[in-house]
Amino acid sequence: MITTVRSILVAFFTTAALGAQSVLISEVRADAGGRWVELHNRSALAIDLSSWSLHHASHTPSMPQEYWWAFPNGTVIAAGAYLRVHWYQAAPATPGTNELYTGSTPWNFLFSLGGETLSPLRGAFGLYRTQLGDQMGDAARIEDWVSWGEHGYSREPLAIANGRWTAGRHTSAIPDGSSIARNEGTIGGVTFHDEQWFVDPTPTPLGPNLSGAGVASYGTACAAFDNHLLGAPVLRAPSLPLLGNAQFRLAIDNSTGIYGEYVLVVWSAAAAPAGQPSLLPSTPGLCAEVIDTSQLVIAWLAQTQVSTTVIPFSLANASPALAGTEAHAQAFVLDLLPFAWTPFQGVSNALHVTFGD
């Protein structure tokens, strides 16, 4: 009886975890240095993939353009572990731990459709919780999905219907020597699924995709007296400052976008030293620079948008030397219309940004 109850509980919690996407597609590489897809089990339970499969979709003319590969019986991905599947490749005599190879003949793949080598320019992967042909059209069986380079692949509408991908979206093509990697910390916090992905110039197979990146807020946002903002301007980073992340950006909340305001985002090498005199007009409250105004690096001026103003700072082509460096950013909202009063509208909190790889 105890064994039966334990089995029921394990089954229940495993099913609940799967509903929350415990196993994710974490990283994809597609060049001469490696053609593979990595999975991550982010749950606290080992998960048996024996009845699961991987679906690869392409846009290659005169080819089937969709292929399924079944995980071998007994494939278990441990709690917190990573599993790498080398796509359309024969297995070596002694595969490494947590390494699988699909093989490269039609008999290695489901339905004898064979496979294709991965293209860095375009492609898609789906993770299915089935190996049965009559269930491949069931959207609920698709556990995860990623499209790169293009969208509109076979079975992609099913992934969209199951909330695993966003219609009309794809992440970047994969540059040589790089991978597309997932920032799992953004899951549930970004609008589109492709925004969870970034180009990683330093692939990290069988390990976490993030290394050293971080953003910390300090200081206090403040709006000047008689401002026309929606509130004190709050500065945040919707994604992490990872080298290769083309979608890294800053966002300033509480802008109105209709009164001619501009936002000046200023980067400095350090936080303000004690006793730093303010360059801002005298205002009540805590409106002040909290970054070091004597070590300014760059400033970016943009017209405000309604409610939230987004400032892109793509790290797609950032130098590897930037990894580990730190910078401090603060936003200043100004009204530059003639005869505006008051011209100074407010100042945000500051962000301490550490660039990671």
Q: Which amino acid is at 51?
A: S
Confidence at residue 346, expressed as pLDDT on a 0 to 100 scale: 86
Distance CA 270, CA 329 (A): 9
Residue with tokens 């969870």: 196
pTM for the model: 0.69
Per run of 10 residues, the mean pLDDT along the chain (length 357 residues) is 37 39 95 97 96 98 96 97 97 94 96 94 98 96 97 97 97 92 86 89 87 87 82 88 84 84 92 88 73 92 90 87 92 73 81 90
Same CATH fold assignment for domains 18-200 and 214-354: yes
Q: What CATH code is assigned to 18-200?
A: 2.60.40.1260
The answer to whether 82 and 39 are in contact (CB under 8 A) is: yes
Q: How far is CA 7 from CA 3, 23, 76, in A?
A: 6, 21, 17
The answer to whether 177 and 202 are in contact (CB under 8 A) is: no
Domain residue spans of the chain: 18-200, 214-354
- Domain 214-354 fold is Immunoglobulin-like (2.60.40)
Confidence at residue 219, expressed as pLDDT on a 0 to 100 scale: 93
